[in-house]
Structure 1
Amino acid sequence: MVGFVIGVFALAGMIKGAIGLGLPAVAMGLLTLFISPFQAATLLIVPSMVTNVWQLFAEGHVLRLVRRFWSLLIGIIVGSVWSVFPTLGHGEFQSEALLGGMLMLYGLYGLFAKNMPNLAPYEKYLSPVIGYLGGALTVATGVIVIPVVPFLQSLHLKRDDLVQSLGLAFTVSTLCLAVFLQQNRIEAMPFDYKMALIALFPALVGMWLGTKIRYRIPEQKFRKVFFCGLVIFGGYMVLHQFGVI
């Protein structure tokens, strides 16, 4: 089991290092093949938090982004407390099927969303709604991707601001997920802090390797393979849950 966890987080970290995202999605998707979504989410907390904080504070200007996106962040917190979806550890079928569906949407979005519409004029009204849905899906699947990532990209931010904004949203959602897992801990699924710390090292090494790969392989080609893989893998998870395969 230890070797599998190390391999999963090394791969997930490498993808995040290469294209700037994907660690929670890859890790959750692969881990849930062998353990429950609740257990997988507990292993994700430490590596995800460290890499997100790294991403958040890499360029500074954090307070400026907090002032701009405070309603998005409040929405994430509210969504994680009052989710409209079945949550991790309570209804395993729904969580795994929902995770698979979200991975498919994420992959399709990455493949076909070439030019995002400019939603900046509607940011004030959309931010709390998008944040709520992101927080609700975080405690349902362990991953915050849809709709937060497409929304932030649709605001046409500068590259550094976009990377930091994603890091900010990911950091807050990971904190919310950690609180949720602690408050809803299932006795049969205790936290494995040792394994979570073990997962951190390969994730960081993977990120370092990913940054090296970024300069050797065309990013667009790498992204295409990655998102195609998410569509296939997410589709497999959904079909498997419905007993088709």
Structure 2
Amino acid sequence: MSNYLPSYVLVIALTFFVAGFVKGVSGMGLPTVAMGVLSAFISPVSAASLLIIPSFVTNVWQLLTGRNLLVLIKRLWVMMLGIMVGTLAGSSLLTSANKVYASVGLGTALIVYALHGLFTKPFSVPARFERLLSPVIGVTTGLINGVTGIFTLPAVPYLQALGLSKDDLIQTMGLSFTVSTIALAMGLARSGAFHLGNIAMSALAIIPALIGMLVGTMVRKHIGPATFRRCFLIFIGILGLELAVHPFFQ
């Protein structure tokens, strides 16, 4: 979209402010919120291209907050490689002409993510299974990322199940999200979906995203994380349902 109407710019700014706020409070959720809201107004591939730069900046910020980056990379590099491979393989579907599949896929991923967070109990992965599961989780996360632009499933539940410390978990999610963002950018660029206008607007979206993240970080100290997480997941589930059924009622 080359002509930036005020309403279009306002929608993008508000979306990334809210997405940054959610990430500031919970440590995740920026791509989920941004893709879910923007895909209700523009195509999923355009939404994904707008997501790239603010997602990369905020994820690198999160990635650099811990002290064990090299240790975590050594432990999970196979998973990160799987994310790259899966994303590049799946991105062709996101950039294809059939927008119905992309919208339904995105909506379904949001619904599954919400239901998992609301109704399933935390689980743990024994160390002996980590070497086997990491590449599978990586490729699966990459495929979902490539098709929908969302890279939280199944990576986040898996990382939570590894028994990492709080700081290591936040840093590891930053690592996974950063790799996913880079891989998605490569997939979009390969298919020619990165237009100059999208890059410029994506860069401008950094400002509201960072402001929202800063506000969310401050608010996190004053509200119960469980309450916020529950409301967030319900919102994501409703948004996913709307996206999944919307193409069939046009």
Note whether the superposition's TM-score is higher than 0.5. yes
Question: For the residues of structure 1 that align with 2:212 and 2:183, how far apart are their CA atoms?
Answer: 25
Find the partner of 1:75 among 64, 69, 82.
82
Letter of the 1:102 counterpart: A
Find the partner of 1:222 among 217, 228, 231.
228
Q: What is the CA distance between 1:51 and its match in structure 2?
A: 0.6
Match of 2:243 in 1: 237
Contact 1:28–1:142 (CA<8 Å) still a contact in 2?
A: yes
The Cα offsets for residues 127-155 of structure 1, whole Å up to 9 and x where unpaired, read as 11110111111111111011111111111
Contact 2:45–2:94 (CA<8 Å) still a contact in 1?
A: no
Q: Does 1:88 align with 2:64?
A: no
Contact 2:88–2:186 (CA<8 Å) still a contact in 1?
A: no
Q: Does 1:100 align with 2:107?
A: yes
Q: Does 1:146 align with 2:147?
A: no
Question: Bigger CA drift: 231-240 or 42-51?
Answer: 231-240
Partner SS, residue 71 of structure 2:
helix
- Number of matched residues? 243
Q: Which runs of 4+ in 1 moved over 6 A?
A: none
Residues 25, 215 of structure 1: alpha-carbon distance in 2 compared, 3 angstrom cutoff: same
Q: Does 1:121 align with 2:128?
A: yes
Question: Bigger CA drift: 197-206 or 178-187?
Answer: 178-187
Unaligned runs of 5+ residues in structure 1 are none
Match of 1:136 in 2: 143
The Cα offsets for residues 10-48 of structure 1, whole Å up to 9 and x where unpaired, read as 000001001111000000000011111111111101100
Q: Does 1:212 align with 2:211?
A: no
Identical pairs, percent? 41
Q: What is the CA distance between 1:235 and its match in structure 2?
A: 1.1
Using the size of structure 2 for normalisation, the TM-score is 0.92
Question: For the residues of structure 2 that align with 1:113 and 1:163, how far apart are their CA atoms?
Answer: 21
Letter of the 1:49 counterpart: F
Match of 2:5 in 1: none
Partner SS, residue 40 of structure 2:
coil
Q: What is the CA distance between 1:119 and its match in structure 2?
A: 4.1
Letter of the 1:73 counterpart: M
Question: For the residues of structure 1 that align with 2:32 and 2:128, how far apart are their CA atoms?
Answer: 30
Using the size of structure 1 for normalisation, the TM-score is 0.94
